[in-house]
Amino acid sequence: MMWQFIDTGFGTGKFNMDYDLELAKNFSGTPSLRIYRWQPFCISLGANQDIHTIYSEKASQNGLEIVKRPTGGRAILHAEELTYSVIIPLSVENPPKKIYRDINNALREGLINYDPLFTKIELEHTQPHFPSFYKEDKSTLCFAVSAMNELNYKGRKVVGSAQRKLGNIILQHGTILCGPFHKKVTEYLNLLPKNILEIKGEIEETTTELETILGKKINYETLAVSIKKGFEQHFNIEFNNELVDEKVLQVN
């Protein structure tokens, strides 16, 4: 089976989210894996999240963009990370939950390609009770809890993902945490200081990053190649880098 691989490098928050959405809307029959990063750093909010949960003025003063994702979930500070997106059709054999699990397994294989120590990264086997979780202040942040089949290292979340169904197409994208800068998102929460302090402590306990696991900086180019290979291995596919639709390339 042939997929397309797209590495768009650095982009603004608006560009990155628009590009993912256009890939899904202009799906031509060929699944795709896209890899990208963020410049400037950006806080993204879930599609249904209130923008007032973030101090927009402070974020702007510090050079951060704020953007809404087309998928659900909560706030993420995109900084020292590699982001991925997958566009793939639904079928009876490939319902959303299976796609979600398969993509995370492919990511796990890619991370192991990068460094064998990442064999200790596992899929989460439990699902939190989200109605109760969303009543808590920490629910403002995406990385405050792991959902079923997300990737954890020794119980700490290292990759967070979200899906959206558009007709019979699935858009799934997510964050592979590489460095600790993402934790600074707590500085922009519109909450009482005591609650922010509590959330800071919880984020330290519930998340980790590839650099922290390995004790050294991540080579993003090598990581991208490793993730690509992980998808080839798990889905038994080949990538054609020349299949990108010209309509998608016109995203502003």
State the pLDDT at residue 63.
97
For the cut 70, the answer to whether the pLDDT of residue 225 exceeds it is yes
Half-sphere exposure of 217 (CA within 13 A, CB side): 4
Answer for the pair 55, 188: CB distance below 8 angstroms, yes or no: yes
Q: Tens digit of pLDDT for each residue in 139-185? A: 556 555 556 789 999 999 999 999 999 999 999 999 999 999 999 99
Whether the model pTM is above 0.85: yes
> Which domains, and CATH codes, for the chain?
2-235 (3.30.930.10)
User: Is the torsion defined by CA of 8, 179, 204, 125 positive or negative?
Assistant: positive
Q: Band of the pLDDT at 194, cuts 50, 70, 90?
A: confident
CA distances from 212 to 143, 189, 209 (A): 16, 24, 5
Cβ 208 vs Cβ 152: under 8 Å: no
The rounded distance, in Å, linking the Cα atoms of 101 and 40 is: 31
Let me know the angle formed at the C-alpha of 3 by 210 and 169, rounded to the nearest 5 degrees. 90
Q: Would you call 146 helix, strand, or coil by DSSP?
A: coil
